[in-house]
Amino acid sequence: MKKILFISTVLILTLIYSCKDSFMQTVPLGMASDNMFYSEKGVNSLLTGAYSMIDGAWQTDGASWAASVDNWVWGGVASDDAYKGTSYGDQPPINSIEIYQAISTNDYVANRWHLLYDGIARTNDCLKALKVAIDNKNIEAAPAAEIEAEAKFLRAWFHFEQKRVFNNIPYITETADPATVTNTVDAWPLIEADLKAAVSVLPESQTEVGRPTKYAAEAVLARVYLFQQKWTDAQPLLDDIINSGKYSLMPNYSDNYMIAQRNNKESIFEIQYSVNDGADGSSNAGWGSSLNFPQGGPFGTCCGFYQPSQNLVNAFKVDANGLPLFDTFNSDDIKNDEFVDPTESFEIDQRPVDPRLDHTVGRRGIPYLDWGINPGKIWTREVANGGPYMYVKNMFKKSEKGNFSTTTGWATGVNANNYRAYRLAHVYLWRAEVAAQQNDLATALKYVNMVRQRAADSKLMGKGTQVIGSDGKVSGYTIDMSQPAANYNVGLYPAFTSKDQALKAIQWEIRLEFGMEGLRFFDLVRWGIAAPTLNAYVAKEKTLRLYLKDANFTAGKNEYWPLPQVQLDLENKNGEILKQNPGY
């Protein structure tokens, strides 16, 4: 089966001007005439170029980190899920994002904007070339319709990504002059229109893995409706995906993060990653998150960014019935080894936790995939800055190193572990949210408990026992794979007694199920609880991470980020085209 890789290919179109001398009409070597794109093959090449921008494409200057498909900066570091990690002086533009003080000249703001609008430009180039190919009868109706649908899916995707970060954005179509499109027109209806067009044409399944299906487009459209609180519009889309019978939850939660389980039966749309395929530094392997691997220990990876927060770890606590501690989860911390030397004895916290904690967060005394028992903070880059925890979901196994991880380039963590952008668990929990909003508490309960039952069945196995040498110091660990790694307990909700209780449970479940996957900040904003949640977070966390001492989330401003100053300077005519966001 073929796979559409979101490759980092730059397609260069050159206009060839007419001239009497024939040699002046020769296309220079390495350049492409626009005429070659006016065919099915040519238009598909342009479409592939648009796909490449889903992960920001490979940029030697690091710009792709700001446009990473997993939104680790904007959805993760800006939330209560994660710290920037690494050292304070590495990639300093993220520091101001983490404390909600980014300004319009921040490099990450500018890079995010221009890379995603590059993706939009590529979709529009594809659509323009497609029209010429159709007019010239160089393409059949069926492939033309599918290419148009995929291009509109991608155009909606890129605009939706921008909308969640900048809110007031210009929506650029293939017939528009980008220099004249304002950002004062609501982009939501335009995003919806492109996705509806995609839903009406895309097939229920694709022979080439990586191309979107009808159900992928429905999932994105349903999420767009959730951001607008259009519950009745989202419901039939979510029901159609569920009732299609094409998807089911994988048996183990961790199946969704294993390279060997890519494109599995739970997956609705994955971003396809590939390593050691001839691309420079394996640039087709999720370069946007290439910094987010351990720098320390036996891994040989880089660079220690994107570390889980203590707040996230605490959120996985449960009571005696295996249910979350909504109001008291953060009153004290699950034990960590931040101030414990690796040679000193350290016993893991024995309180019950949801097992998704250890499928998401690497912590001392727990197996880290097949790399062995995590011996503690020596596996992290700079504990004082980023804390003692490590990210798990993006990492490859020791047994996969070199095969499914890159063997070239300096970003040695990039690997073939696809980013699962949309899967059935998203749909179940969004359907539960819609049901709760409609006061259908029985349906909400059903879908939440389906996800929780899978979590209950997903205990991480491998109990570690410290080996204490004659000098009284820890020299290593033994591991018993027949025993759970920690005290795990997940209970099902017996009932939801009110809409408010149901929504709190669903919001909590979304955090636990998709921890560190770049959703958190955007969800807090759409739920209208970003300011109180994040200010409560930094109030405690600044006692652990001193760089958070000046953090403060301002309601009415920090839900979105400033438009880049360079764009305002380039396009604005006395402020008539682009308006800066409130508060900046």
391-404: average pLDDT: 98
Q: Which residues lie below 8 Å from residue 97, measured CB to CB, with a gap of 6+?
A: 73, 74, 77, 78, 106, 108, 561
pLDDT at 32: 52
Strand partners, 32: 13
The b/e string for 434-448 (b: 16+ C-beta within 10 A; e otherwise) is bbbbeebbebbbebb
Structure tokens that stand for 473 in this block:
């110091």
> Which of 40, 428, 54 is closest to 211 using CA atoms?
54
Asked if the model's pLDDT at residue 253 lies above 70, the reply is yes
Confidence label for 56 from pLDDT (cuts 50, 70 and 90): confident
Tell me the domains of the chain and their CATH numbers: 13-184+555-571 (1.25.40.890), 280-518 (1.25.40.390)
pLDDT tens across 408-461, in order? 999 999 999 999 999 999 999 999 999 999 999 999 999 999 999 999 999 999
Structure tokens that stand for 478 in this block:
């033994």
**Predicted model pTM:** 0.93
Angle (CA) 178-181-187 rounded to 5° is: 115
Q: Is the distance from CB of 303 to CB of 317 less than 8 angstroms?
A: no
At 311, is the secondary structure helix, strand, or coil?
helix
Asked if the model's pLDDT at residue 14 lies above 60, the reply is no
At 237, is the secondary structure helix, strand, or coil?
helix
Asked if the model's pLDDT at residue 378 lies above 70, the reply is yes
77-102: average pLDDT: 97
- Residue the block writes with tokens 């001398």: 21
pLDDT at 34: 60
pLDDT at 280: 86
pLDDT tens across 170-194, in order? 999 999 999 999 999 999 999 999 9
